[in-house]
Amino acid sequence: MLRNYYHMDRFYPSALWLTLIVMVLIFTTDPLFSETIEQRQAKKDHISKGIKKYKINIGRLQEGIKEQEEQIRQTRKVELTLLTELQDIDTRLVEQNHKLAALDARMQKQKEFVAAKKAEGEQAAIFLRGTQEHVQKRMQAFYKLGRLGLINITFSNQTLPELLRFQDSFLALIKYDQQVIDTYRRTIEELEQAVESLKLQESIFKEIIAENQLEQEKLDEIKEEKERLLTRIRTQTKLHEQAVSEMESATENLTSTLKGLEDKGKKLEQSFLYNKGKHPPPVKGKVITRFNQNSTNLLGISSVSKGIAIDAPSGSTVKAIHEGKVHYSGYLRGYGNTVIVNHGHQYYSITSRLERLLVEKDKRVTEQTPIGLMGDTATLLTPGLYFELRKDTDQLDPLKWLDVSALILSP
């Protein structure tokens, strides 16, 4: 690949520099590329604090949503109670209107009775006055006639028996007239008493009607108050529902932000995985053995390579490809001097055939931390630095995880 760059530089002098500038920009602007342990840990701490803060806020919002939903349930109970009370008031108002209508009808009949009795009384009084005048004339005529005496008998052309019968008849008429007068007087008194009784009943009806009207006014006031309260309750319900909606929206936003932070946290925690294809090789050079390629050492022993071999000048510094903790540093039979780095989440890098080890077990390393030196002795039997990647016990193709732009790949 470097030869390709040289070839481009020969014909297009600016192409190599442009490519290098783009590579530098990519490497330096990638937030997860080429960071120190301290920088990544600072980011982890910041994200952890953010996650904790958002979780607390989400918890508070969820509690607030529960409280608002409880308020909605309570206001709906009150609303249902008010609706029941309003229905009862409406029923009572309908009954009250029927009652008032019935009382008004009775009151009207009472007035008609009073008017009728008054009319009867007036007619009786007129007839009584006429009767009294007639009797008075009859009495005057009788007194002018005088008592039945000797002179009346002497000078009358009628016989005594006839005179006696006339006097008895006249007296009977006067007595009858007197009885008629007495009867009309009693009738008038009875009518007057009836009128007074009816007026008393009328006043009682008026009081009852007034009381019912007052009760109706009170019911109307209660109904208006209940309706105003119902309006307020419904307004409160809408406000609680709006608050729930806003809180749910805020919860969704916070949850989305929290997920973003958690994703960033996972990327930082699993930065080895998320930087697949971007890890710098342990040393710059030419790949002389590829993953799963058959190779034969100077002793004639053939094997299938579970890693890659990189040919680089003697004395080249071998570096860690990513942050982690040194799991092993020492000599391994069949591998030579070896450094195994645990990069977290069961990812391991194995670097062997080192001339000299520069790190010890349990040491924390970061990307580009020197872990060893290459030499002719270590690569005497099998040429090239050996580099292997594993996920737990599974071997991985290093060329899929490394930034191969810094390597020369053999055809």
pLDDT digits (tens, 9 = 90+) for 95-135: 888 887 888 888 788 778 778 877 877 887 787 777 777 77
**How many angstroms separate the CA atoms of 128 and 178, rounded?**
11
Is residue 118 included in any domain, yes or no?
Answer: yes
Is residue 263 included in any domain, yes or no?
Answer: no
Closest CA to 358 of 370, 349, 374, 345: 370
Q: Could you tell me the residue range of the domain that residue 22 belongs to? A: 1-29
Based on the fold, state whether residues 246 and 329 are members of the same structural domain: no
Work out the percent of the chain whose per-residue pLDDT is above 90: 29
In this prediction, residue 282 has a pLDDT band, given cuts at 50, 70 and 90, of: very high
pLDDT at position 115 is 82
**Residue 317 · residue 323 · CB < 8 Å:** no
Is residue 115 included in any domain, yes or no?
Answer: yes
Based on the fold, state whether residues 204 and 298 are members of the same structural domain: no
pTM confidence score: 0.47
Is residue 399 included in any domain, yes or no?
Answer: yes
Based on the fold, state whether residues 73 and 198 are members of the same structural domain: yes
Based on the fold, state whether residues 241 and 292 are members of the same structural domain: no
Q: What is the mean pLDDT of residues 239-257?
A: 89
**How many angstroms separate the CA atoms of 359 and 373, rounded?**
11
Based on the fold, state whether residues 73 and 22 are members of the same structural domain: no
pLDDT at position 160 is 52
pLDDT at position 112 is 83
**How many angstroms separate the CA atoms of 237 and 83, rounded?**
15
Question: Please, what is the average pLDDT of the chain?
Answer: 80
CATH number at residue 397: 2.70.70.10
Residue 147 has pLDDT above 60, yes or no: no
**How many angstroms separate the CA atoms of 224 and 82, rounded?**
12
Is residue 257 included in any domain, yes or no?
Answer: no
Domain-ending residue, one of 207, 234, 250? 250
Q: What is the mean pLDDT of residues 14-29?
A: 37
pLDDT at position 48 is 85
Based on the fold, state whether residues 295 and 241 are members of the same structural domain: no
Based on the fold, state whether residues 10 and 137 are members of the same structural domain: no
pLDDT at position 138 is 67
3-class DSSP assignment, residue 117: helix
Q: Give CB contacts under 8 A, 24+ apart, made by 67-76.
A: 68/240, 68/241, 68/243, 68/244, 68/247, 69/240, 69/244, 71/236, 71/240, 72/237, 72/240, 72/241, 72/244, 75/233, 75/234, 75/236, 75/237, 75/240, 76/237
Based on the fold, state whether residues 20 and 89 are members of the same structural domain: no
Is residue 120 included in any domain, yes or no?
Answer: yes
Report the number of distinct structural domains present in the chain.
3
**How many angstroms separate the CA atoms of 384 and 378, rounded?**
9
Based on the fold, state whether residues 129 and 245 are members of the same structural domain: yes
CA 235 to each of CA 87, 163, 193, 231: distance values in angstroms, whole numbers, following the listed order? 20, 106, 62, 6
Residue 374 has pLDDT above 80, yes or no: yes
**How many angstroms separate the CA atoms of 409 and 411, rounded?**
6
In this prediction, residue 148 has a pLDDT band, given cuts at 50, 70 and 90, of: very low
Is residue 46 included in any domain, yes or no?
Answer: no
Q: What is the mean pLDDT of residues 386-402?
A: 95
In this prediction, residue 327 has a pLDDT band, given cuts at 50, 70 and 90, of: very high
Based on the fold, state whether residues 15 and 107 are members of the same structural domain: no
Based on the fold, state whether residues 290 and 239 are members of the same structural domain: no
Is residue 86 included in any domain, yes or no?
Answer: yes
Based on the fold, state whether residues 222 and 81 are members of the same structural domain: yes
Residue 398 has pLDDT above 70, yes or no: yes
CATH number at residue 202: 1.10.287
